[in-house]
Structure 1
Amino acid sequence: MRDKRVVEKSEDCTGDYMVACSFKNIVDEYQWAFASVYGPNLDCAGSVLWDELAGLSSIWDFPWCIGGNFNITRFSSEQSGGSSFNSPMVDFSNFIYEQDLLDIPLTAGTYTWSSNREHPTWSRINKFLVSPEWEDITLNSSKRDSPGCA
């Protein structure tokens, strides 16, 4: 439950593979958006998710963060045992590039998911993607709130 004294939900949007909300901070009226995704299990349905998220970007001109299980890796190095570079990976990378998003790197570990089989495969299908404006405001905010910083 969010504290309504801190943030106010402005709008929400639900798609086949995402739920998104735009928010406004109460104190400074700063507007931002967050989208939670659970990507399709079939590669052929990936374009639906990219279209849903690109549509949000076109109607909400705010800094934003997208997080969740995309069910796709961007690079063969994000999967144990490697995999061949395929068109869904290209589509994912193109979406990130076209939306000018940053793929936040992991700070610990290499993978975020395992198949839990006798011989498991590991991959990095869970990600957070942010707009440069989101990164700017969160970095500046954390520096501003750090002890000893003016």
Structure 2
Amino acid sequence: MSREAAQGAQRPGVDHSRSDLEDLIGYNLKRAYIIVQSDFRDALGADGMSARVFTALSLCVKYPNITQSELARMMGIERSGLVAIVDELEAREHLRRARVPGDRRVQALVPTDAGRAAYDAAIQAVRAHEDRLFSDMTSSERATLLALLKKIRGLEKQQ
């Protein structure tokens, strides 16, 4: 989907800039998210990973042997919601479940060589997608946007 299509069709003669919605941060974040998410899907292709699957793989590559509970916590999702994501990554042979010594109830997630290669390809595609999508911004504007988004998420205190 093109950026213009994701932004929504404009009716001739209607000035959308005068809507009260245009002054709301949440509304603009949501509209921007729709554009970013659509281009993200296009960048990873029809059989590519969803954003959630990409996030899970990224964290498994960064933190090999992460437990499913830790991964769910880092992703901000319920552990039960992670099962389908892990199943998909396992079906793609991008990771495998491994037993954690001393606790048979806990499973660690270990990226495979294929998973690391898939992540390397995906992160390059995602970086290219962001470079393309945010090409109208200066590097300073991009850094400011990222800092503000992290501030909303409460991450600026952690860094």
- TM above 0.5: no
Name the TM-score class by shorter chain. under 0.3
Q: Greater CA radius of gyration, 1 or 2?
A: 2
TM-score by length of 1: 0.27
TM-score by length of 2: 0.26
Relative to its length, the structure with more helix (as a share) is 2
